Amino acid sequence: MGNPFTGSETSQNTWACGLWVRLDPLAPGSHELAIRGESGSFSTAVDYRLEVVKPTPTGAV
């Protein structure tokens, strides 16, 4: 199958950095999620407004 980014069959050395969060399922309704982080002189902040709706059963119209 190969690497989907390069199309080559060889392995590539990579690294990633970022903010990650795992949330339990949220109840239907409005929610606000605030993520803050800092390391040394670097800091970051992000705010999300989420609207969770109750799923429609499969096959329902």
Mean pLDDT of the chain: 83
Q: Which pLDDT does position 19 carry in this prediction?
A: 65
In a domain, 35, yes or no: yes
Q: Does the residue 50 lie in any domain?
A: yes
7 Cα distance to chain centroid? 25
The pLDDT of residue 34 is 93
What is the per-residue pLDDT for 1? 58
Of 11, 8, 36, the C-alpha closest to 21 is: 36
39-60 mean pLDDT: 88
Is residue 38 in some structural domain? yes
Residue 9 lies in a domain: no
How much of the chain exceeds pLDDT 70, in percent?
Answer: 82
The answer to whether residues 2 and 8 touch, using CB atoms and an 8 Å cutoff, is yes
Within a domain: 40:
yes
Q: What is the pLDDT of residue 61?
A: 64
Which residue spans within the chain are E strands per DSSP? Answer: 29-39, 42-52
pTM > 0.75? no
Determine, yes or no, domain membership for 47: yes
Q: Which domain holds residue 37?
A: 27-54
